[in-house]
Structure 1
Amino acid sequence: MVRVHPDSPISATLVAWGNAWLAGHAGLDEAVDRLEHAAGPQVVSSEVTEVPLRRFLADLRAEGVSALRLSLPAAGDPLGLTGPPPFTMAAVDAGQAVTIVLPGRCLGLVPAPDRRGSSYSGVRWSAMPADCTPPDVPGLAEAEHALTTAMRAATDALSRAEGPGPGHPALRATDDGLAPGYPARAHRVAALTARLASVLRLADERGLTSGQIAVRGQALRDLDRAVRRARVAAHNAIHETRDAQARP
């Protein structure tokens, strides 16, 4: 499978704007327009059919869809996934996926680039059955604490492993990727994960000894794990808010 680059996962955009639409903070057209602006035209395919994303989501609403959940798995870390194996393997290969919660069943979506000829570039979502067992993912407060701890540890490790060449990239302002209806804390955590993802993308090993590479590599792996967990928590936080409001 050709991967959609996970630094700015289209799955996160679908989850954020899909949940905003379900919660009444955005219309269907606005949500799909945001997705198409981010990655071009989008279709959903299964073994028997292929439909535009807009129609697919409208059909889900009629079926009673209640939530979209983000998964950002990596090899050995199936974050946000509970199976079955075909969905898990496809999601790990892509580095991202969406689980759609419906009455009595769940559906998994895995994105891949969709290129047809020289002028068409979009996203094809492969739909497949997904397990409805709630995944073991951190809550927003837990994820924010872990991200802060990992960031401090990575900063210390990278400063000790610094080699020749430019220093660490600055944490520039970045779109947090969330949509209306998310709590302020989720926006704060998502913005930080976006900035740290840029640091991870730009990090390199030029001019380092083998020992420095080992230190830097472990620090970046730990930070990547914390970033993925915090991003999942931020994008799923709208469910935490809704569930808390529903409690007596």
Structure 2
Amino acid sequence: MVAWGNAWLAGHVGLDEAADHVEATGGPVVAGDVPLRKYLANLRVDGLRELRLALPAPGDPLGLSGPPSFNSAAVDIGQAAIAVTGDQNIGLLPLPDQRGSSYVGVRLEVHDSGPVRHDLPSLAEAERDLSDAMRSATEALTSVDGPVGDRPGRLGQRGGELAPGYPARAHRVSTLATRLATVLRLADDRGLTAGQVAARGEALRELDRAVRRALVAAHHAIFEPVRNQ
């Protein structure tokens, strides 16, 4: 939602196209009881400037700036979107929306959110960190006998494409980070010694941090030239 919402705000796609793409992926989306199109249109009337992505993990509240109740809920599900408006920021948590046996969609739980964080990496910084983490993880895992499918060099499924209007570098970084995230999800410690588990765990934690930072930076990159002017 963040990528297509930002593409709409930047004038690269229409609201209907953005909402259609989001809902084609995850099903119908509502914020409270308000359909996605109407909710985004209302936010824009209220001064919506951009959507920010947060991908926190325990001990690393990446992209979050409070309040504590919102941070805690976002860490529990591993992601959040933040709508940046003129007067306040609004936190949006995507939750499963299941009604009956056939309706499956997404319900955005609405929270207050703190100010935009300015300590997040630029796209160039995130790409460099991702490359370094991938190289370090590959070196660390090469010495560990484990399932061949979890080597960073053996990338998984495609995905991670952003929306029209994003720079080519952002598309590239997002795609690589998404594929590496798949590798991280498939990591398997079975059959390893305690020492091997520890060595691989440290390498994968650093890679996970770099992947999340890269995805956040890629989703924000559509507005980077504007911020730097």
Q: TM-score range by the shorter chain?
A: over 0.9
Structure 2 match to 1:136: 119
Structure 2 match to 1:84: 67
Q: Distance in 2 between matches of 1:241 and 1:127?
A: 29
Structure 1 match to 2:182: 198
Match of 1:162 among 124, 137, 145: 145
Q: Distance in 2 between matches of 1:235 and 1:168?
A: 26
> Does 1:231 find its partner at 2:215?
yes
Against the structure 1 CA distance between its residues 25 and 126, is the aligned structure 2 distance closer, same or farther, given a 3 Å change threshold?
A: same
Q: Does the aligned pair in 2 maintain the 1:72–1:96 contact within 8 Å?
A: yes
Q: Does the aligned pair in 2 maintain the 1:64–1:102 contact within 8 Å?
A: yes
Match of 1:35 among 22, 40, 43: 22
Large movers: runs of 4+ above 3 Å: 165-169
* TM-score of the two chains, using structure 2 as the length reference: 0.95
Q: CA deviation at 1:206?
A: 2.1
Q: CA deviation at 1:184?
A: 1.2
In the alignment of these two chains, the number of paired residues is: 227
The worse-fitting range, judged by mean Cα deviation, of 71-80 and 208-217 is 208-217
Structure 2 match to 1:102: 85
Match of 2:102 among 114, 119, 123: 119
Q: Does the aligned pair in 2 maintain the 1:40–1:122 contact within 8 Å?
A: yes
* TM-score of the two chains, using structure 1 as the length reference: 0.88
Q: Does the aligned pair in 1 maintain the 2:141–2:200 contact within 8 Å?
A: yes
Q: CA deviation at 1:166?
A: 3.7
Q: Does the aligned pair in 1 maintain the 2:150–2:184 contact within 8 Å?
A: no
* Counterpart code for 1:237: A
Secondary structure of 1:73 counterpart: coil
Q: Does the aligned pair in 2 maintain the 1:183–1:241 contact within 8 Å?
A: no
Against the structure 1 CA distance between its residues 97 and 168, is the aligned structure 2 distance closer, same or farther, given a 3 Å change threshold?
A: closer
Gaps of 5+ in 2: none
* Counterpart code for 1:243: R
Quote the RMSD (CA, aligned, Å): 1.4
Q: CA deviation at 1:243?
A: 2.4
